[in-house]
Amino acid sequence: MQLEQIETFPELEDGQCSTMLAFDQTPIRTAIWPATSNSPKGTICLLQGRAEYIEKYYEVITELRAKGFAVATLDWRGQGGSGRLLDNPKKGHIGSFKDYGRDLEQFMQKQVLPDCPQPFFALAHSMGALILLNQLPRLRTMLERAALSAPLVQLAPERRKILGKKTSQTTIRRLTTIARLLLLGERFALGVDKTSVTGPWSFDNNPLTSDGPRYDRNRLFLEAFPQMGIAGPTFQWVNEACKAMQRLQSSDFQSAVHTPTLMMPVGFDQIVSSRATAQLAKTMRCGHAITIAGSRHEILMERDIYREQFWAAFDAFIPGSPKER
């Protein structure tokens, strides 16, 4: 399948894509688009979820620019157009979850701050939201506000499985720790899809979106460019993610977050726990939650009836009034 057969957005051609070498020399693909307005409202730092890539968010980037924002984004290490971390490029792997945070901070310092209009806001989805939450205490002087789409605060019960049986996240963390001690950290975690980069689901049973055209758009892109996708996570990735999620529950962490944060869990999420997200929003000093009822996990890839609710909440929260900032 040729690239021109996939839905494209020509107005994004004025974006600039580049490669940033991370602290360990891993190449990180980044992209920045200017606002379409002569008086930009600021810059949205768009942070994608696990196994995603910049092209998946072209529609979202178009909408953000139309709202008057510049957009800065990156492919996380180990996925998309960034450098892979293992010989098998399909494996979703990470050395330490803190490596994502170091990449994000370098991206902000080296590319966003010098090249993008202020103020700076974040829009983060799922794993990207988990990375951002862990990094917010260090980014408090850079980011004015953060909007989180279905943040990875805790795995949904459907994802907490070992050998097909549901278990607690604490048990998963312990078992994956044992796997790492047995030098199995780079192997695919049990019960995950190991080979496909388009996912183990057909549209009819997928937990991501109820929007057929958007689902097909993303599926067709990965069929045409499978090198941009990854399959399931390794034991080490799952273990690191569990530790990062556990840090969010610390009172010391929560008291260190001063950035106003809007969390938007969804009513029909089989990937992350919406209940855990709502609870975190209650205990965080600067946290708020608005549930998008009926939506599946990928709100920004959903039907317009759900996306409109998301954008209404986003527009009311970002950029906020100067007095609030």
3-state helix, strand, coil in the chain (%, to 5): 40, 20, 40
pLDDT at 69: 96
pLDDT at 160: 75
Contact indicator for 314, 123 with CB cutoff of 8 Å? yes
Mean pLDDT lowest among 196-200, 210-214, 255-259, 291-295: 196-200
Per-chain mean pLDDT for the chain: 90
Higher pLDDT, 7 or 214: 214
CA of residue 162 relative to chain centroid, distance: 24
Interatomic CA distance for residues 47 and 45, integer angstroms: 6
pLDDT in tens, 2-50: 333 344 444 567 888 899 999 999 999 999 999 998 899 999 999 999 9
Q: Return the residue matching tokens 């279905």.
A: 150
Higher pLDDT, 196 or 310: 310
Q: Over 70: is that where the pLDDT of 1 sits? A: no
pLDDT in tens, 104-125: 999 999 999 999 999 999 999 9
Q: How confident is the model at residue 71 (pLDDT cuts 50, 70, 90)?
A: very high
Partnered with residue 123 across adjacent β-strands are 46, 147
Mean pLDDT of 131-139: 97
Interatomic CA distance for residues 168 and 157, integer angstroms: 8
All domains of the chain, ordered by start, with CATH?
Answer: 7-317 (3.40.50.1820)
pLDDT at 193: 65
Which pTM value belongs to this model?
0.93
pLDDT at 204: 86
pLDDT at 6: 40
pLDDT in tens, 189-208: 976 666 666 667 789 889 99
Interatomic CA distance for residues 118 and 143, integer angstroms: 9
pLDDT at 166: 76
Q: Over 60: is that where the pLDDT of 170 sits? A: yes
Strand (E) or helix (H) holding 64 = helix 58-66
pLDDT at 38: 87
Helix axes 97-107, 235-247, angle to 10 degrees: 70
Which DSSP string do the residues of 199-240 spell out, in sequence order? -S--GGG-SS-S-HHHHHHHHHHHHH-GGG---PBBHHHHHH
